[in-house]
Structure 1
Amino acid sequence: MTSTPPPPISEPDPSTFTASSSHVGPCSGCQRPTHKYGSGGLPLCQWCLAAARDNWGPAVRFTSTRTQGGDGRTR
């Protein structure tokens, strides 16, 4: 399978097109703008996540570190 090289870091991750501007932040790997904060956010852009999956296998994914209280609210 041949993958295309990522675009320049100045171009945002496509996930930012559906995220509000308050949920866009830098990728933890390359600093490219990505959907990082809030529901559905991931600290890696799609290209850095692909590299992580190549290194760690397909089971790698984002795990929330937030806890949920007894009332169902995220803390």
Structure 2
Amino acid sequence: MAQWQARLSMLTEGSCSIQDRVVSQDQVRIRFCIFIYICVLVRVSLACNASFRYRWCDGAMVPCHVNTNQLSS
């Protein structure tokens, strides 16, 4: 029984270290994707703010609708 337990512990430790490596790589990918997602959101929100300012300053609704349609498509 002791031999089986030792083998099991070795197997589980090895698999855990491999899982930790995979998880760390996934975490890096997830953080990178979140970083890109936030950058895209900031750019889109800045573009929307610029179009809203343009609409409020200009008093014309058409430019804002054109900009939002271009962003969504």
TM-score band by shorter chain is: under 0.3
- When the two structures are superposed, what TM-score results if normalisation uses the length of structure 1? 0.26
- When the two structures are superposed, what TM-score results if normalisation uses the length of structure 2? 0.26
Structure showing greater radius of gyration is 2
